[in-house]
Amino acid sequence: MFTSVLMIEKALTSADVEFVTTLHGEEEVSFQVLLQPRGEQADRLLRAIDDVALGELDEAVREGETPEGEEALSVGQRALEVSLAALRGSGSPAEGRLIEDHPLDALKSLVEEVGADEVIVLTDPHYVEEFFHRDWASRARHKAGVPVLKLFSHSKA
């Protein structure tokens, strides 16, 4: 069985689940999901710039409403549970954990722990971080020791 570590920042949509579960055709894939809530990942200014770059001005204005701290963890836990249920519902074995700090350290440890074959980073676009190669996928390529695939979420969760 092929093992993928899936790094996400919000609940997977049905389109996201279909996308990641069909990447390898008929090969059976199990998922190890790492979720770090968006409120913990980047500061509000970078997120607002990303929203403006995407033409989502309403989202940029609402960045101040993004949950932070304990509230983000609660939202993150629910997003993780929804994502795991969706992956399992599609027939793929899935386990996961919420991460608060140092997502790339957690990624490297998990890749080694489960003998992962690849890492899939599935997030909304983060243009500022991507431009400076500070996004998860760019940094994971130097740490993971396995191929890293970067995908964009299909829609808002």
Question: Using one digit for the tens of pLDDT, what is the confidence trace for 18-27?
Answer: 999 999 999 9
Q: Report how far Cα 145 is from the mean position of its chain's Cα atoms.
A: 18
**Confidence (pTM):** 0.77
Closest CA to 36 of 2, 68, 4, 3: 68
45-67: average pLDDT: 54
Q: How confident is the model at residue 41 (pLDDT cuts 50, 70, 90)?
A: very low
Determine the average pLDDT of the residues in 89-116: 93
**20 or 61, higher pLDDT:** 20
- CA dist 30 to 109, 124, 126, Å? 17, 23, 27
